[in-house]
Amino acid sequence: MGLLEEKLVERLLDTSPKYKRDTMEQTIRDLLGASRLEQVTGLPARRGGADGGIDGILDVIHIIQGVPYQKKAALNVKVRNSDFSREQLGGFLLDMDREGIFVGIIITAKFLTPDALIELVRKNVEGYVYLIHIRLTDVLAGKIIAPDILIDGRSLNAVLLERIKIMLV
């Protein structure tokens, strides 16, 4: 990505953990049209906004071999100065499984660790779940490549660009 996008994300990483957790996660939910997961299935009461689970739920169209399927997608947002790990991916997958959700969108400030990337690819090849990873720099640059996921019948990239423009006005 471009230097400007990288610098903007670095500035976000310098903000407080509370800002990243509360404000940034909500902004990303708003951009995607996602809502909070208010009820967690089969677990004791949530431990608050930073329990590391599903950060949002949204309706998507998942295109599988040219056929569109209406599905729920789980959102995991990590605005941290570290890469998204295999362990974090495993926790997200367990949360998705518990909630009966089979599409996952991971948005991070940094990258996936090599192990997490291999596991993400493996899960997608197996076909039981579909996972995509988006860096915040991709969002800012308008360069999201996710042709199999549509929101309101439009590409993820088009939806995010339109909603970012609206937020900036």
Residues 4-60: tens digit of each pLDDT: 889 989 998 999 989 988 888 899 999 999 998 877 777 766 555 545 589 999 999
Sheet holding 103-108, edge to edge: 130-135, 103-108, 67-78, 56-64, 149-151, 154-155
Burial of 146 (0-12, 13-18, 19+ CB in 10 A): middle
pLDDT of residue 2: 84
Confidence of residue 100 (pLDDT cuts 50, 70, 90): very high
The residues with which 135 forms a beta bridge, in sequence order, are: 108
Number of residues assigned to the chain:
169
pLDDT of residue 48: 53
> Residues 93-105: what's their mean pLDDT?
95
Average pLDDT of the chain, as a whole number: 90
pLDDT of residue 35: 93
Angle of CA points 18, 2, 167, to nearest 5°: 50
- What pTM value is reported for the model? 0.91
CB neighbour list of residue 43: distance below 8 Å, 6 or more residues apart: 98
Among residues 74, 76, 92, 62, the alpha carbon closest in space to that of 134 is found at: 76
